[in-house]
Structure 1
Amino acid sequence: MSSHATTVLRNALLVLALGMALLLLVGLQPYAAGYGHFRRTLFEELLMRWKDPTWQHGVLLPFIVGYLIWRRREQTMQTALSSSRWGFLISVFGFLLYLAGFRANNFYCGYLSIMTLLAGTSLWLQGVQRSRQMLFAWLMLGFMWPLPFLEESIGYQMRLMMVKTTGFVLNAAGVDSLVAGTALQSMPNLEFGRKAGELFSVGIAAPCSGMRSLFALLVVGALFSYFRQRIPWRRLALFSTILPIAIVANMVRILVLIFAAMIFGQNWAIGDVEKEVSTFHELTGVVVFLVALMLLQVASWLLNRVCSGLGFKRARVVSRQVVSSLP
């Protein structure tokens, strides 16, 4: 048996062993519960969190990552197989991080440790060049892990920003509105005998703050940037627009609800948020993604135009320099 075949067989056996170890660490070993004396496995925690609409996109990530790896299979196979000692050290660090999270009863350490183990194993068994081919797939896998502490830390601030921004747009459009905390309602009009909130009264709850769609839009934005652009810095520039785009898209949804409430009535457009929202309210969730995709397309087009313009100017400068250097 040749040395190359021996290396491939050894790596295949190592991958099988590490795969079994990963299955044990994620699916079988009780890990943490956050609070209390009982423990859940990392997989049980994922299943529980994925029931929340904010994190439902995590169910699709393993399939998306699998497709991304399969899509680059030819480039990966053409890259020379090597090994990196740094990968082994990173794997050891990932395992120690897993133990630290187990002792601290903290799921987030477990999430980070699994990502670290995957990165280290890839470097150890495949080398830097092949691991680079899978870098984007590995980054996308990071969106699979639920991070509910972000909802608590920035969710309320996003609600306040959404209310103030929407109120500013309504007032600028001539629709007098009043902002009270995280609620938005129409101003009273003595001339027409309207009370405050008679035309519309919208309470920006946590799901309407944009947090529910933000994380799913991050996944959409990352995939859109990856497939629409080819140069890494352009991909990063386009992806960086997803946060303001998510805010604008969610604000458009709130405006659609408000104008629908003014035309067709509060119950039809919004419903009773404390009991049951209307069907129209539920359907407008699609608006966020449609607007976000449209704005991403516009941002990608503008990025291409700017870069092509800069390239044209650079080419003109170079051509002038060449002409001036001719005898």
Structure 2
Amino acid sequence: MNEAVRKPTLEMVRQWLPNPALWLGVGSAVALFIAYYTLFVDWKDKWFEWTGYYSHGVLVPFLAAYMVWMRREELARAEPRPSLWAFALIVPALLLRLLGYLAPSSTISSLSFLMLIYGITAAVWGWNFVRLLWFPILFLGFMMPLPGVLFDEISQPAQDWSTTVADTILRTVGYETRRVGNFIYIPGGFDLDVGVPCSGFKMVVSMATFAAFFAYYIGTSLGRQLILVVSAIPIAILINGLRIALIGMVGTKWGEAAGLKFHDWSGYLVLIVAFAALFQIGRWLGWRR
């Protein structure tokens, strides 16, 4: 009697219990959160700091999750093949995390985070899943703040190019400007100091992030996807230069207060224009969706 009752009961428990791979995945996620908690806090602080350089970062995990959802049919067909070779990534990743914590270096820890995600994916589901998800995982890199050296290498040229574009536009429409470095003098008008916050770095990074997602979304060839991503950089610089020029025009025509007010809200306007330009390029490249 007891044996007859026990067998159906055990069978019911097995049916209710999730797949062991799911438990392993959940456990890995919890361990990942604990191991990288301080890094996540650093990222969050960068995402919400007043400069807004990495404000796009908070959206990146959701965009990456949508990329994974786009591959749901292929993932459903794929057969899990957990691999012990994944520890060739997991162990170095954990050592890098320890080094990044002790140094401390958020750059090293960020690199180890990506390595560990790849390693866990291979360990739990297999390298065939890594092949399906390599780009959504790599895309998570867009939420990570750049190291200071790389930030300078991008922001300084962007600052110079944006100033050049703005000065060229102002001269083209009839303003007699005088440029000194990244400062544009408009005689009798609203002078423009193109500092790092106005360099276009924020737009370049935001546009590159969106372009990478959009290129994956439209489903065209790899070559055309690369063209779309690369095109985001000149678009961002040109649009940012246009914004700077418009600030100068508004400030010169309607006064300093109007120029400053336009400066505060025009960033959203030009971002819409930049995204619209990117959408159009996507259509030219054969947007399939």
The structure number with the bigger radius of gyration is 1
SS at match of 1:147: coil
Shift of 1:148: 5.1
Counting only pairs closer than 5 Å after superposition, residues 230-269 of structure 1 correspond to structure 2 as 230-269=220-259
- Partner residue, 1:108: 107
Counting only pairs closer than 5 Å after superposition, residues 183-194 of structure 1 correspond to structure 2 as 183-186=183-186
Cα RMSD for the two superposed structures: 2.3
Correspondent of 1:225 among 194, 215, 223: 215
Shift of 1:95: 1.2
* Cα pair 1:246 1:288 within 8 Å, conserved: no
SS at match of 1:43: helix
Structure 2 CA distance for partners of 1:233 and 1:123, relative to 1, 3 Å: farther
Question: 2-side partners of 1:159 and 1:86: how far apart?
Answer: 45
Q: Does 1:175 align with 2:175?
A: yes
* Cα pair 2:185 2:192 within 8 Å, conserved: yes
State the TM-score, normalized to the length of structure 1: 0.75
- Partner residue, 1:312: none
Question: Which residues of structure 1 form unaligned runs of 5+?
Answer: 28-40, 187-195, 271-277, 306-327
Shift of 1:128: 2.6
**Amino acid corresponding to residue 25 of structure 1 in structure 2:** A
Shift of 1:237: 1.8
Question: 1-side partners of 2:240 and 2:179: how far apart?
Answer: 17
Counting only pairs closer than 5 Å after superposition, residues 13-24 of structure 1 correspond to structure 2 as 13-24=23-34
- Partner residue, 2:277: 295
Question: 1-side partners of 2:77 and 2:99: how far apart?
Answer: 38
- Partner residue, 1:48: 45
Corresponding pairs, count: 269
Question: 2-side partners of 1:228 and 1:137: how far apart?
Answer: 14
Shift of 1:243: 0.9
* Cα pair 2:82 2:124 within 8 Å, conserved: yes
Question: 1-side partners of 2:255 and 2:84: how far apart?
Answer: 66
State the TM-score, normalized to the length of structure 2: 0.84
**Percent identity of equivalent pairs:** 28
SS at match of 1:83: coil
Higher helix share: 2
Shift of 1:133: 2.2
Question: 2-side partners of 1:213 and 1:91: how far apart?
Answer: 34
- Partner residue, 1:213: 203
* Cα pair 2:110 2:144 within 8 Å, conserved: yes
* Cα pair 2:220 2:285 within 8 Å, conserved: no
* Cα pair 1:257 1:281 within 8 Å, conserved: yes
Greater alpha carbon shift after TM alignment, 149-158 vs 230-239: 149-158
Question: 2-side partners of 1:178 and 1:135: how far apart?
Answer: 49
Question: 1-side partners of 2:276 and 2:69: how far apart?
Answer: 28
Moved over 6 A (4+): none
Question: Which residues of structure 2 form unaligned runs of 5+?
Answer: 1-10
Greater alpha carbon shift after TM alignment, 124-133 vs 101-110: 124-133
SS at match of 1:60: helix
